[in-house]
Amino acid sequence: MDHLSLSPGGTQSLGQRSRNAVWHPCTRLRPDDDALPLAIVRGEGPWLFDADGRRYFDATSSWWVNLFGHANPRINAALAAQLETLEHVMLAGCTHAPAVELAERLSALSAGALGNVFYASDGASAVEIALKMSFHYWRNTGLPAKREFVCLRNGYHGETVGALAVTDVEIFRDAYDPLIRRAHVVMSPDARQAVRGESAADVAARALAELEALLRERAGQIAALIVEPLVQGAAGMAMHDPSYLDGARALCDRYRIHLIADEIAVGCGRTGTFFAWEQSRGEASAETPLPAHAWPDFLCLSKGISGGYLPLSLVLSRPEIQRAFVADELARSFLHSHSYTGNPLACRAALATLDLFEQDNVIEQNRERARWLSDAMAPLAADPRLQHVRQRGLVWAADVRDDVAGAEFSSRFHHAARARELLVRPIGNTLYVLPPYVFDAAQAHWLGQQLLATLDDVTTSAEVRHAA
């Protein structure tokens, strides 16, 4: 294998040492598998470099976290300055400027509809916080029976035991099922389910009808609905019509349950607006701010918020949520914390990220990038080996047809792409790219070409394409 060789000094490669000493996430430990992790020594812009100096285009933004490239000089400078002043202080009883400024600026991005921020470190923790806060809100307001949750089919909200309860991805959940208080799972608005003649909006309407049927029965026991707005990432970049979001908001109001928007993957400009939820009333309304009542009750951010630099997550919520926790009794307080809650370095990286959005007019620029991506992917979109080609902002995805994908498609595609300077990890048969916001039109074109060439490498029936 490529990195297995021992160097003259007898020292093992980084990949070999890693396989011995590091238990890698989301990775099978197979008895006869001698594949090693790719040892990355350096990053610059959208590129990652291995120990041999080979480069790889980070087409999925290092698990969807990187927004402005690796070793971004402006984020680096902000972090270096923060390092000189304050690296960390506990946020219970203390505060610091980066945590305050970040909360104020995020609240302002929702025009004040979401009034405050609760900090944590990982996405899954943010989801747990939103679930716990929702349950606790209802208990504090005299409705303790509301303690069930609703999630969407194939939804993904993280892998801690609480977050798995609202995650409907079998490979992550089923082994731990005995530990989990499962949520109600309702139909996803995933537009791929359209039957002949049905539009994406029709599918969304069907999904809303199923949600309403559940709420009509059980709203008295339900605390909250949790959704990934616009794109269900881990489901395989499943996309839906925005009308689902506004419809879900209306149902949550009618049946008095909370709405939790998990924007851990789709927030921070990924789908064309800073918050994906801004599109809940359709594309046209992205320009005009949403009225306060049209926002979710809770909105979770993580991944891109720190620019992909440091673990940071947070939950924005409506001001009335916090009001239900104002009381002298300890039992009414939200006594949740993580050691690194509101870490100043992570908050500073997030502020530098927000500065980049403002100074470089990133939301506007990303519209053009989305067009470059769409143009570059046109040959793939026309390829008969692919179906359900879809794009929302800077997420592009397509499903490789089962008959041409073959066994272990994802792993074979990943390795073949690496040989073409491309780092991608398909989800099952879903091929997707979710690049950092730093590529130009030429790089988009190159990316499209490499994906097509890789598809030729790994599918045996290239003749299908030419025959069509």
Ligand X SMILES: *Cc1c(COP(=O)(O)O)cnc(C)c1O
Task: Name the residue whose CB lies closest to ligand X.
Answer: 123
Q: Which of 46, 69, 98, 123 is the binder for ligand X (CB under 6 A)?
A: 123
Tokens coding 146: 């509301």
Give the side-chain half-sphere CA count within 13 A for 244. Answer: 32
CB nearer to ligand X: give 157 or 385. 157
47 membership: H or E segment, kind and range: strand 47-50
Q: Does 397 bind ligand X (CB under 6 A)?
A: no
How far is it, in rounded angstroms, from Cα 356 to Cα 309? 14
| Burial class of residue 332, CB neighbours in 10 A (0-12, 13-18, 19+) | middle
Which residues, other chains included, contact 87 with Cβ-Cβ below 8 Å and sequence gap of 6+? 344, 345
**To which residue do tokens 């909360």 refer?**
103
Q: 134-163: which residues touch ligand X (CB under 6 A)? A: 156-158
- Closest Cα partner for 167 from 201, 114, 123, 200? 123
Nearer to ligand X, 130 or 294 (CB): 130
- Residues, the chain, total? 468
| Site residues (CB under 6 A) for ligand X, limited to 259-298 | 262, 264-265
Contact status: 308 vs ligand X (CB under 6 A) = no
Give CA–CA dist 458/45, Å, rounded.
28
Task: Give whichever of 5 and 339 is closer to ligand X, judged by the CB atom.
Answer: 339
> Residue 304 interacts with ligand X (CB under 6 A)?
no
Residue 316 binding ligand X, by CB under 6 A: no
User: Which residue in the set 58, 168, 212, 228 belongs to the binding site for ligand X (CB under 6 A)?
Assistant: 228
Q: How far is CA 98 from the centre of its chain?
A: 23
Task: In whole angstroms, give the CA distance from residue 130 to residue 112.
Answer: 18
**CB 136 → ligand X: shortest distance, Å?**
20
User: Nearest approach, Cβ of 335 to ligand X (angstroms)?
Assistant: 21
- Determine which residue in the list 36, 109, 127, 290 makes contact with ligand X, applying CB under 6 A: 127
Counting Cα atoms < 13 Å in the Cβ hemisphere of 125 gives 18
Q: How far is the CB of 7 from ligand X (least distance, A)?
A: 34
Q: Which is nearer to ligand X, 60 or 72 (CB)?
A: 60
**Residue 106 is a binding residue for ligand X (CB under 6 A):** no
Q: Give the contact letters, 60-99, x = binds to ligand X (CB under 6 A), - = no.
A: ----------------------------------------
Residue 210 and residue 152: Cα distance in Å, rounded?
Answer: 11
| 64 or 372: CB nearest ligand X | 64
CB of 63 to ligand X, least distance (A): 7
CB atoms within 10 A of CB 23: 8
Q: Site residues (CB under 6 A) for ligand X?
A: 122-124, 127, 156-158, 228, 233, 262, 264-265, 302-303
